[in-house]
Structure 1
């Protein structure tokens, strides 16, 4: 039996940060755009974690990532 990944907010943010860094998604896109990049069997867990942390699927990906520190500032 396949085990699905248990998404924590930290893991989700790390994965989304990597997608943004690769240019796959933009910080301005709604969070629901991520469903294309997260396996369907795991999306319900992601939605549950987002809901627990008071995020809506229409919120922006940038809101999910929060403030980021840059080394060259």
Structure 2
């Protein structure tokens, strides 16, 4: 049985950051290009997590990897 990985926003950001650092994708490209590097069976999890965090697939990868969550003290 193939087990699905549930992607958290942190995991998605780390994956995107690594792809940018390797020069595979650019910070200016839309987030949806990441679907070329994430298994199709996992993409639904990724889209869901991005939506929960108010990201659109047309947003830039740079916005995704530089996004920080701030908590009140």
- Do Structure 1 and Structure 2 share a fold, with TM-score over 0.5? yes
Query: Unaligned stretches of 5+ in structure 2?
Result: 68-73
- Aligned-partner Cα distance in 2 for 1:27–1:51: 19
**Helix, strand or coil at the partner of 1:56:** coil
Aligned to 1:19: 19
Aligned to 2:31: 31
Query: Unaligned stretches of 5+ in structure 1?
Result: 68-73
Task: Count residues in correspondence.
Answer: 67
Aligned to 1:71: none
Moved over 6 A (4+): none
- Aligned-partner Cα distance in 2 for 1:65–1:25: 12
- Aligned-partner Cα distance in 2 for 1:37–1:10: 16
